[in-house]
Amino acid sequence: MSQLALVIDLNVCVGCHACVTNCKEWNTSGSAGALSDDNPYSKDPTGTFFNRVQTYEVGTFPKTETVHFPKSCLHCEDPPCVPVCPTGASYKREEDGIVLVDYDKCIGCRYCSWACPYGAREIDEHQKVMKKCTLCVDRIYDENLPEAERKPACVLACPTSARLFGDVHDPDSEVSVAIREQGGYQLMPEWGTKPSNHYLPRRKNHVSYKKDELERVDNPLKKEDYQVDSTEPSLDDVTSW
Amino acid sequence: MQPAFSVIFLTTLIGMGQGLFLAIYTRQVYSVLNVVEASSTGEFYSLGSALALCLLILGLIASIFHLGRPERAWRAASMWRTSWLSREVIVLPTVMGLVFLYGLVHFMGWNVVLMTFGSIPIDLSMIIGALTTLAVFSLYIATGMIYACLKFLQEWHSPLTVINYLLLGSVSGFTLATLLASYQQPELVSFFSGWSIVLLVLAFIFRGASLIRNKRLRPKSTVQTAIGVRHNQIKQKSMGFMGGAMNTRDFFHGKTKFFLKSIKLLFIIMVFIVPMAILILALFKPSFMVLVVACASMFIGLLAERWYFFAEGNHPQNIYYQAIA
C-alpha cells in the first residue's frame, strides 16, 4: 500500500507563505466549492485554510534562530479523526493513504476536529462541513496536466523546494530517502498517530580542520630550502597570466 | 475547549431525563419486591415517564443546534462500530422509545402479569423497564465515552468522565423525582430524597476526584514535541495569520483563570451544597417550593459544571496558536 505524504525541510523553508497562498487559490477554485472567507478586507477577517506557515524563535537573544514551520494535515497512518466520525464522512483512502472528508456526508458536528491533536481540520462556515488538506487529490491524478505538475499546489509553489511530495512507503522514493538520510521526524509522536508527513530538521554545516592541514607538508619549495619572503612580489604580481 | 451551549444542554437534559426514569423504575422495583409499601400508582409512573421523555426530547432538540447540517443527521447512525457519537445517536432514540412504552403501559393500564417468581409478580412494565434501564446505562456510557475516548484531551481521558456523567445525570433525575413525588405522592418523598442524598455524596466524591486529578495533570504535548525542535526556549512569534480561524475560536474558552475558578465554586455550591441541604430537610419536612429551588439550583449548577468540564479540556492544538503577529 502506498502512502502519499509531504516532507517539509525546515532547513530550507524561508517562511514566504507562497504554499499558503497557492493552496488557498487551488482549493478555493475546485469543484468542491469555495473555501469560504468572511470580511476578507475589513475588520476581523476570518476564513478556512488548509495550510499555514508559522514562525518560532528558538533560543534566547542574541543566540536565537528563527524557524519557519509550515503546518497542514499530516495524513496520519493511524488517524484519530477517522474512527470518531459518526457518518463515515471522514475516511482514509486504501489506495494512497490520503485522509479525506466526503463533503456530501459530513453533518458538521466538529467531533473530528476535537479528535485531531494537530488542529488540522477547519469547518467551512458557509458550507457547514468540515474541510482539510486533500493533498490536492484533484490535481495529483489529473492526466490533463503535464506530469511534472501532478503535485500538490503547495509543493509547486515553494520557491526553495522545501516541500517534497511522494510515497513514504516506497523505500526508494525521494521522500523516503530524505527522511532516512536527513533525520526526518514526525510531530507529537507521543499520541501514536504516526503522521505520514515528516519534517527535516534544521542542520548546520561545519567545516572542521586542523592547523597543520592549512600548510602543505610536501611543499617542494621546502625541500629546496627556499625561504618565502613576503616582501618579494609573487608570481601573481609580476605576470598577467 | 470552547464550551458549546448546544452540547451543554444536550448532556444535562438527557442526563436528567435518564436519571428520572431510573428513579421511578427503582421505586417500582422496590414496590414489586415488597421492600417498600406498594403505594406508588400507575399515574405517578406515567407522569414521571412523560416528564423524562420531555427532557430527552429537549436534549435532542438542543443537539440539533450543534450540527452544521442537521438534515443529514440520520447518517450519524452508520458508524457505530467505531464511533461513540454514532452509538449515542442510536441509543438515544431507543431510550426515548422505551421510556414512551413504559409510560404508555402504565398510563393505559396494560400492566398484565406475565409470570411470577414465587410471590413476586413480573408484569409487562417491569420487563420494559428492565430493558429501558439497560438502554439508559448504555446511553450514559456512550455520552461519557464520546469525551473519555479522546486520549490527548487528558482532562477527559479517564473513567471518571463516564462515572461522572452517570452519577450527575442520575442524581439530577432522582432530585427531580423527589420534586415530582412531593407534588403528587408526598409519601414517596423520603424514598427519593434518601436515594438522591446517597447519589449526591457519590457524585461529589467522584467529581471531586476528577477535579483533583485534572489539577495534577501535566500536558504530554509541549511546543518541543509540537514542532520537533529540542530546545528549552521556544517561543511562537507568529501563528501564520492575523485574522480569525476555527483554530483560534473552537479550542479555547477565552476566559480568565478567575472566571474559571468562580464557575467551579458556583457549580460546587449549586450542584452539591444547596440541593444536599434541601434534600436532608425534605427527609423531615418536605415542601414542594423548597424542592423546586433544589431542582433549579441543581440544573443551573449542572450547566455550570458542564461548561467547566468543557472549558477545562486543554486541547494540544492550542500550542500552535499562541502568538498572533
Q: Tell if the CB–CB gap between A108 and B69 is shorter than 8 Å.
A: yes
One-character DSSP codes across B274-296: HHHHHHHHHHHS--HHHHHHHHH
Cis, peptide link before residue A62, omega less than 30° from 0: yes
Best to test chain A binding among B66, B241, B324 (most A CBs inside 10 Å)? B241
Do B229 and A56 count as a contact with CB atoms less than 8 A apart? yes
* Mutation site for B-interface testing, chosen from A9, A43, A69 by largest number of B Cβ within 10 Å: A69
pLDDT one-digit tens code per residue, A210-240: 877 777 777 776 666 666 666 777 777 777 6
Question: Do A52 and B76 count as a contact with CB atoms less than 8 A apart?
Answer: no
Residue B217, C-alpha cell as written in the block = 495533570
Q: Do B84 and A110 touch (CB under 8 A)?
A: no
Nearest chain B residue to A40, by CA: B243
Q: What is the pLDDT along chain B (325 residues), one digit of tens a residue?
A: 999 999 999 999 999 999 999 999 999 999 888 777 766 678 899 999 999 999 999 999 999 999 999 999 999 999 999 999 999 999 999 999 999 999 999 999 888 888 888 888 888 999 999 999 999 999 999 999 999 999 999 999 999 999 999 999 999 999 999 999 999 888 889 999 999 999 999 999 999 999 999 999 999 999 999 999 999 999 999 999 998 899 999 999 999 999 999 999 999 999 999 999 999 999 998 889 999 999 999 999 999 999 999 999 999 999 999 998 6
Question: What whole-number percentage of chain A has pLDDT above 90?
Answer: 81
pLDDT at B38 (0 to 100): 67
Q: Are strands A37-38 and A46-47 parallel, antiparallel or unpaired?
A: antiparallel
Q: Are A56 and B235 in contact (CB under 8 A)?
A: yes
- On whether the CB atoms of residues A74 and A196 are closer than 8 A, the answer is yes
Would the CB atoms of B77 and A116 count as touching at under 8 Å? no
Residues with Cβ < 8 Å from B248, sequence gap 6 or more?
A: B239, B321
Mean pLDDT (chain A) is: 92
Measured in angstroms, the CA of B236 and the nearest CA of chain A are apart by 4
- Grid coordinates representing A172 are 526508494
Question: Which CATH architecture describes the domain B5-229+236-320?
Answer: Up-down Bundle (1.20)
| Cβ contact A46–B244 (<8 Å) | yes
pLDDT given at position A234: 72
What pLDDT, in 10s, does the model give residues A6-62?
A: 999 999 999 999 999 999 999 999 888 899 999 999 999 999 999 999 999 999 999
Nearest Cα to B306, choosing from B2, B1, B12? Answer: B12
What is the identity of the amino acid at A163?
R
CA distance B279 to B192: 9
B34 Rama sector, left if φ>0, alpha if ψ -120 to 50, beta otherwise: left
- Tens of pLDDT, residues A55-71: 999 999 999 999 999 99
How many CA within 13 A on the CB side of residue B90?
15
Q: How many CB atoms lie within 10 A of CB A78?
A: 12
Q: Are B142 and B88 in contact (CB under 8 A)?
A: yes
What ipTM describes this predicted complex?
A: 0.92
> In this structure, which amino acid lies at residue A180?
R
Cβ contact, residue pair A48, B153, below 8 Å: no
**Residue in A115, A117, A127 closest to B221 by CB:** A117
Minimum CA–CA partner of B80 in chain A: A86
Name the CATH code of domain A4-200 (choices 2.102.10.10, 4.10.80.40, 3.30.70.20, 3.30.465.10): 3.30.70.20
- Hey, what's the torsion of the CAs at A81, A84, A87, A88, to 10 degrees? 50
State how far residue B76 is from chain A, nearest Cα, in angstroms: 4
> Using 50, 70 and 90 to split pLDDT, how confident is the model at A196?
very high
